[in-house]
Structure 1
Amino acid sequence: MGRLEGRVALVTGASRGIGLAVAERFAREGARVCLTDTDGESASRAAAGLVDEGMDALGAKMDVTSRTEVESVFRRTVERYGTLDILVNNAGITRDNLLFRMTDEDWRSVLNVHLTGSFFCAREAQRYMVAGGYGRIVNLSSVSALGNRGQANYAAAKAGVQGFTKTLAVELGRYGITVNAVAPGFIETEMTRQTAERMGIPFEDFVAAAVEGIPAGRSGKPDDVASAVLFFASEESAFVNGQVLYVAGGPRD
């Protein structure tokens, strides 16, 4: 029996990278999973891959910054599976630039996806979780929440996710709902590959430079993050609430 047997989970930004790794891990642990993404076709393909392996998954197009889309997809998920037990707020974008070059849209779009998106999804999820007397919400933050050159928007958003997480933990704990955050360090994903391309650096060199500052001596992989998210989503973390776990290969302040 899997650690999430019988549970229903919804993962945002789940068509690739960390989100896909989380959805796959959940499904293999027995959960029925709704994979959402702004690219609905990619989400459906990812879900179909899990179904082909004998797991129960649903793919759906969802823009987390659209309240109506969020409400619709959550409703469809509950109509199909009867409940919602786990939410993973993973959807995210970057629009990196130094402050004096950062546009209004760079700022708004990043905060909108990470903060407004997490708000819309958590608010909708808690409706079903409170009714069921059980829930697990896991938000994706980042080591950038501690400050990172060229990421004023992203750092502010990810720091905001941590405050959001702790506040929801206080508000929702009495209803059997825990809320925690995972803050990855350098993880090899499509997003970090795109950053290397934008900087004109071969990805292998980009990874090697990052590893020099990681005490564990290697870069992170999406599965490293998925393992931490699984812990917060499982029964094993029942008395862990309002915490931020850095998955960075070394200590963080």
Structure 2
Amino acid sequence: MKHQDQVVLVTGAGQGMGQEIVRHFASAGAKVVAVDINTDAVNKTVEALDKPENALGLTANIASSASVKEAIENVVEKFGRLDVIVNCAGVGSFDSFLETPDEHWDKVISVNLNGTFYCCREAAKVMAKQGSGYIINISSTAAMTGEGPSHYCSSKAGVMGLTRSISRELAGNGIRVNTIIPGPTNTPMMADVPDEWTQQMIANIPLGRMGESTDIAKVASFLACDDSGFITGQNIAVNGGMAFL
């Protein structure tokens, strides 16, 4: 199978997009590590797999560098290596710019940007020793259009810049780094968006539908194998034509 015996870590794996990415890689032969801040949710993700014995569920707070470091160490201890990391964990809140509380700004930046940085850094340390690896970050079309809360758009734009920078630095270590930029996607996070906003977003998508988590998982799979061997440092929009880089 395409990802046979790869060790693949996915953050935000307790639900939605992250959960589907775990399932997709597991079905393609990978040994998967599901990471989430919610212990019950991540355990359910692992238990639902066809071969849960080939998986590991970890509770971690990616906004804490120490927590991320411990999680990566646990992966290496169990599987001996780390081939792929998909940084899917993210948070948001509906705040107008002028009324954004400091604590909301800090939380969104801490999880979405700082957390992605911590995960990239710790994973890359392992991958550099191996001489190979794939880092896949998840941004958002909101970072391209600015149609969203300022903290969320800023954090996701930062992820795109992080990808461009570290892809150059890590290429010599055999590590490829890319970002997927989903458009509006059917996930639990989207369920909190008012229906009026959702319908307006769909009206702006040329393909006429919201994305599904499987759309994102398939692109992650492509970026984590030799099929995409000459692609690194790229921000790849998967948004039905909603916006262009």
Q: Structure 1 length as normaliser, TM-score?
A: 0.93
Amino acid at match of 1:27: A
Question: Who is 1:48 aligned against?
Answer: 47
Contact residue 181 and residue 244 of structure 1 kept, 8 A: yes
Q: Structure 2 stretches of 5 or more lacking a match? A: none
Question: Who is 1:82 aligned against?
Answer: 80
Amino acid at match of 2:51: G
Q: 2:230 aligns with which of 235, 239, 249?
A: 239
Total equivalences in the alignment: 243
Amino acid at match of 1:83: R
Question: Hey, what's the Cα distance between the residues in 1 that align with 2:186 and 2:89?
Answer: 16
Q: 1:91 aligns with which of 74, 89, 109?
A: 89
Deviation at 1:243, TM superposition (A): 0.3
Indicate the percent of aligned positions where both proteins have the same amino acid. Answer: 34
Contact residue 39 and residue 59 of structure 2 kept, 8 A: yes
Question: Hey, what's the Cα distance between the residues in 2 that align with 1:102 and 1:65?
Answer: 20
SS of 1:211 mapped into structure 2: helix
SS of 1:88 mapped into structure 2: strand
Question: Hey, what's the Cα distance between the residues in 2 that align with 1:149 and 1:42?
Answer: 30
SS of 1:84 mapped into structure 2: coil
The alpha-carbon distance between structure 1 residues 150 and 181, as it changes in their structure 2 partners (threshold 3 A), is: closer
Contact residue 142 and residue 148 of structure 2 kept, 8 A: no
Question: Hey, what's the Cα distance between the residues in 2 that align with 1:232 and 1:223?
Answer: 14
My pick for the range that moved more, 126-135 or 207-216, is 207-216
Question: Who is 2:108 aligned against?
Answer: 110
* 1:192 matched to 2:190: yes
Misfit runs of 4+, over 2 Å: 147-150, 205-210
Question: Who is 1:225 aligned against?
Answer: 216
SS of 1:195 mapped into structure 2: coil
Contact residue 169 and residue 180 of structure 1 kept, 8 A: yes
SS of 1:58 mapped into structure 2: strand
Question: Hey, what's the Cα distance between the residues in 2 that align with 1:224 and 1:140?
Answer: 13
Question: Who is 1:69 aligned against?
Answer: 67
Deviation at 1:149, TM superposition (A): 4.1
Question: Hey, what's the Cα distance between the residues in 2 that align with 1:166 and 1:124?
Answer: 17
Question: Hey, what's the Cα distance between the residues in 1 that align with 2:79 and 2:73?
Answer: 10
The alpha-carbon distance between structure 1 residues 107 and 113, as it changes in their structure 2 partners (threshold 3 A), is: same
Query: What value does the CA root-mean-square deviation take over the aligned residues?
Result: 1.3
Question: Who is 1:174 aligned against?
Answer: 172
